[in-house]
Structure 1
Amino acid sequence: MTNFKRSIPNFSEIAAFIAEEAMPPSDSFAAAFASNFDGVQIGRDEMQISTEMPDPVEAQHAVELIVTTVFDVLRDTRLESAAERIAWGIVHSFHRVAGQWQSQADKATRDVQDLLRSADPSEIFSVRLEEAQDSLILLDEGADALACMRDHAADVYHGETRRPWSAPKATMVSSKRTAAVIDGMAYLAARRQRRVAEHHPDGPLVVFSGGQCWADYRPIWKALDEMKRTRPTMLLLTTAQGKGGDAIAEAWAAKTKTPVVRLGIDTARWGKRAGFVRNGQIARLQPVDAVVAEGTGVQSQLVRVLRSVGIQPVLLSLYGGLEDWAR
């Protein structure tokens, strides 16, 4: 019997091979990897080549391969405990590069704005403006695609670890473009509006805060499931602690695809008062409901602040007596 082997010389072909009989790309990949340009030229003179956006199916499967391979190779070995840290770093690499591209897009936005402020009717100006707008759109498209890959890598990480991936600093958003944008001033205005929508998505805001001593996810998930049942478009605001109740709530949000707003404390500015200042900021955001799990005096004070603005939060206790700890 003759054995036939298929040669797969590089990683992109591995992804393409896996994708051959796979489903079409997810809506997010199809949108993020769509482009307003065909055959973008890179390089100069005779060294120019025509390039396209990566195939969304191959990109989606490549991301899965990158993250899951780490777990598969190290599973059931003495290095298994290192897999989660390595995979976290892989997702973080996508996150950092997406952020760098977004920063370049922000600079390109300012370049277009400067040109528009100094507009003149010359042909040279028109060419410069068109080039600047094209550069901005290309950077936006690249940042969208990289952020989409980051989001998918985070989903795979969550599937492997049962814990949500979260960036150590900054906001993690993706625009997931679904339509082409327009040129000139109208394009810049549309981009500003889109950015606002990313950072302030529509939906009722539900607050969660919990102490770091929480390990049992069941009462927290049950309470949040009830919130989601009555407010399916809710946003979840957490108090951004890396473990305990907040981490459990963010794991629920990752599982249910609920957007999360992480509002931490500014100890550098407010010192020991930082938690209480943050509680006041939460109230000013006008949440519609809250779940507060027993913790420290910060959680107790948050309950009082929320009640002062007409919200009766759902209270969870570690040891029973649901109301006692928050009086």
Structure 2
Amino acid sequence: MAQFKRSIRDFRDIAALIAEETGQANDNFATAFASDLDGVRFGRGDEEMTTDMPDAMQAQFAVELIIATIFDVLRDTRLERAAERIAWGVVHSFHRVSNEWSGIADKAVREVQDLLKSVDGSEIHSVELEAARDAVAFLDEATDALACMRDHAAATYRVEVGRPWSAPKATLVSSKRTHAVIQGTDYLAARRQRRIGQHHPEGPLVVFSGGKRWSNYRPIWKALDEMRAIRPRMVLLTTAQDAGADAIAEAWAARTKTPLVKLGLDVPRWGPKRAGFVRNDQIARLQPADAIVAEGTGVQAQLVRVLRSIGIAPTLLTLYGGPADWAC
């Protein structure tokens, strides 16, 4: 019997083939790429056409292929060390485009608000308002889909590299995220303004901080698992170091889908010697429910003292399993 051979031309065809063999898209993509709109008119003049959302399975697997293929091609070659940086840039591209579309959606919302303020009952105004509302609906759906692709690209990056992808600045917030990463500055602002939602996740705040010398993830993950068993709705706050104990804790948050707040150092304002201690005071003012501190520098030791001063007895971890005299 002659065997049918499918023509493979691009990533979309490869993704479609994998999707057919593996079943269906994950829940995040199925939700993000679902549409309440019958179709959207796209283009200008004679070029206008009615379009639908991309296929969820194809989008999911295309994202995986884009990231994973970079590592597969460069692994065990002279360019292997470049793979991580290239993949980081690809995820960042998803991030930038997602943010751009989110900004366009916000602008469209303001246009609707302006039209609502100037209602005059005319047919022209009604048509304009209806078109503006349709634009918002389209942009909201598109923004969710792009954010979902960004989040999945970041998750694939984490699988390949072994630590979470982090944006260079600003905040990643997506209703379809597999885990939440909220920059500390946004979290502080949200708390001051009593905002709720994605920028201010609900749940007891658990602080984690540790030194950069940590490479053994097991004691850190064990302590975090035990903390989560006690506080299942916990929000994890780290001191945002990109290596060592903090990076290990952030990988745990990604694995367990625990909301994560990263509170970094404001070195330009406070200087390199003072910034860590100022941040410790900021952490105390957030009134955390609990804390885990892994052996590090004098900043971690001072954080332990600050936490004890507000009535919190943090769980202490030592690099080599000895007594926690470093925190005295």
> Common fold, TM-score beyond 0.5?
yes
1:94-126 deviations in Å (ceiling 9; x for gaps):
111111111112222222222233333332222
Other structure's SS at 1:199 match: coil
Question: Is residue 106 of structure 1 aligned with residue 106 of structure 2?
Answer: yes
1:75, distance to aligned residue in structure 2 (A): 2.1
1:2, distance to aligned residue in structure 2 (A): 6.5
Other structure's SS at 2:21 match: coil
Give the partner amino acid of 1:269. R
Distance 2:259 2:110 in 1: 29
Residue ranges of structure 2 left out of the alignment (5+ in a row)? 178-194
Q: How many residues end up aligned between the 2 structures?
A: 310
Question: Is residue 127 of structure 1 aligned with residue 136 of structure 2?
Answer: no
1:210-248 deviations in Å (ceiling 9; x for gaps):
112222222211111111222222211111111121111
Bigger mean CA offset, 144-153 vs 300-309 = 300-309
Tell me the residue number matched to 1:246.
Answer: 246
Distance 1:264 1:112 in 2: 37
Tell me the residue number matched to 1:97.
Answer: 97
1:320, distance to aligned residue in structure 2 (A): 5.0
Distance 1:2 1:136 in 2: 51
Tell me the residue number matched to 1:78.
Answer: 78
Other structure's SS at 1:198 match: coil
1:263, distance to aligned residue in structure 2 (A): 0.9
Question: Is residue 273 of structure 1 aligned with residue 274 of structure 2?
Answer: yes
Give the partner amino acid of 1:56. A
Q: CA RMSD in A?
A: 2.0
Change beyond 3 A, Cα 1:276–1:91: same
Tell me the residue number matched to 2:309.
Answer: 308
Tell me the residue number matched to 1:182.
Answer: none
1:299, distance to aligned residue in structure 2 (A): 1.4
Give the partner amino acid of 1:114. D
1:71, distance to aligned residue in structure 2 (A): 1.6
Tell me the residue number matched to 2:169.
Answer: 169
Tell me the residue number matched to 1:180.
Answer: none
Question: Is residue 296 of structure 1 aligned with residue 297 of structure 2?
Answer: yes
Give the partner amino acid of 2:87. A
1:61-83 deviations in Å (ceiling 9; x for gaps):
11111111112222222222222
Question: Is residue 205 of structure 1 aligned with residue 205 of structure 2?
Answer: yes
1:271-299 deviations in Å (ceiling 9; x for gaps):
24322222222222222111111222221
Distance 1:212 1:77 in 2: 29
Tell me the residue number matched to 2:142.
Answer: 142
1:3, distance to aligned residue in structure 2 (A): 6.7
Other structure's SS at 2:274 match: helix
Counterpart mapping for 1:50-61 below 5 A: 50-61=50-61
Change beyond 3 A, Cα 1:73–1:116: same
Tell me the residue number matched to 1:260.
Answer: 260
Other structure's SS at 1:53 match: coil
Distance 2:310 2:131 in 1: 52
Other structure's SS at 1:315 match: strand
Distance 1:284 1:131 in 2: 47
1:149, distance to aligned residue in structure 2 (A): 0.8
Give the partner amino acid of 1:285. L
Other structure's SS at 1:207 match: strand
Conservation of the 8 A alpha-carbon contact between 1:315 and 1:322: no
Bigger mean CA offset, 117-126 vs 149-158 = 117-126
Residue ranges of structure 1 left out of the alignment (5+ in a row)? 178-194
Bigger mean CA offset, 157-166 vs 140-149 = 157-166
Give the TM-score taking structure 2 as reference length.
0.88
Distance 1:92 1:322 in 2: 42
Tell me the residue number matched to 2:15.
Answer: 15
1:205, distance to aligned residue in structure 2 (A): 1.4
Give the partner amino acid of 1:111. E
Distance 1:300 1:30 in 2: 46
1:155-183 deviations in Å (ceiling 9; x for gaps):
11122222221112111111139xxxxxx
Give the partner amino acid of 1:172. L
